[in-house]
Amino acid sequence: MVKKFYVGEYARSADEKMRIALPAKWRPDNEADTFLALPNPAGCITVYPPKMITRLEEKVAEVSFGDTQGQMVLARLFSKADTFSCDNKGRVKIEERLLKHAQIRSEVIFVGGGSTFNIWEPEKFKNYLEKEPQEDVTSVLKGLGL
């Protein structure tokens, strides 16, 4: 099995049923594989692929019942989340509440994030890139050990 690394930008249009085709390189090896979609505070949808869900489950299990703040954050986050799989044409159907969160109507941009990816409304992504301060690429790469 080849590990997927999510890089690049891919523009897509939703069909009449609001299904969106994943980039071919990002599609899971098995149609039954499940993705986890979470609302990102930046205004997009962050998607955890199947291989990352197991790691996330382990981290979530570490939040004890006695950690009321942690439990509240998880309740807020997961109550707005959704899971989905690809159909046989590589399309996904994203829950309406997540589309509203990201202000997506029909056009999207998939943006790679390495181990995860984000789904943006195109104009919102453009504005996000323009308003966020440009990081010093050298220091970021150094921090990653590259």
| Mean pLDDT score of the chain | 88
Contacting residues for 21 by C-beta, under 8 A, at least 6 apart? 12, 89, 90, 91, 92
* Percent of the chain topping pLDDT 70: 88
Residue type, 109: I
The confidence band for 26, taking pLDDT boundaries of 50, 70 and 90, is: very high
Q: What is the mean pLDDT of residues 20-44?
A: 91
Model-level pTM? 0.83
Residue 132 has pLDDT above 80, yes or no: no
Q: How far is CA 24 from the centre of its chain?
A: 16
Give the chain's domains with CATH numbers: 9-143 (3.40.1550.20)
Structure confidence at residue 28 (pLDDT): 86
d(CA 12, CA 112): 14
Residue 134 has pLDDT above 70, yes or no: no
Structure confidence at residue 102 (pLDDT): 96
Angle ∠(12,13,19) on CA atoms, nearest 5:
105
Q: Dihedral of the CA atoms 114, 116, 121, 127 (nearest 10)? A: -50
